[in-house]
Amino acid sequence: GAVVSQHPSWVICKSGTSVKIECRSLDFQATTMFWYRQFPKQSLMLMATSNEGSKATYEQGVEKDKFLINHASLTLSTLTVTSAHPEDSSFYICSARVFGTINNQPQHFGDGTRLSIL
């Protein structure tokens, strides 16, 4: 159980394109989803916390207008990288958890999306 699916797994596009990444919880409802960015051989950096039905909470230094997050249902959150540029190239990972005590409800991670902007 607790499977998180992320799509697409790999995307290559031209500079200036907007790219949408989907994060779905397949067998549970996720009131909260998290979006991370990861550079090669480094740890995960939290970008934003996405709560179903409300605005996302962004971490300091993350541009809200650049990284649009929508969490319209209990099983789907999307991250749109608007007008992507080469410096946005990275590995983006989402995670999801069910509301409740964090001790019992760990975050379940998707397999990530490799974004390459040419």
Q: Measured between alpha carbons, how far is 22 from 54 in angstroms, rounded to an integer?
A: 17
Q: Phi and psi (nearest 5°) for 87?
A: -70, -10
Q: Which is nearer to other proteins, 82 or 107 (CB)?
A: 107
Q: Does 13 bind other proteins (CB under 8 A)?
A: no
Q: Which two tokens stand for residue 12?
A: 């290559």
Task: Pinpoint the alpha helices (H) of 41-93.
Answer: none
Q: Does 4 bind other proteins (CB under 8 A)?
A: yes
One character per residue 88-117, x = contact with other proteins (rule: CB under 8 A) = ---x-x-x-x---xxx--xxxxxxx-x---
Q: Does 67 bind other proteins (CB under 8 A)?
A: no
Q: Phi and psi (nearest 5°) for 86?
A: -50, -35
Q: Which two tokens stand for residue 93?
A: 């990972």
Among 49, 70, 80, 89, binds other proteins (CB under 8 A): 49
Summarize as ranges the residues that interact with other proteins (CB under 8 A): 4, 6, 32, 34, 41-46, 49, 57, 91, 93, 95, 97, 101-103, 106-112, 114
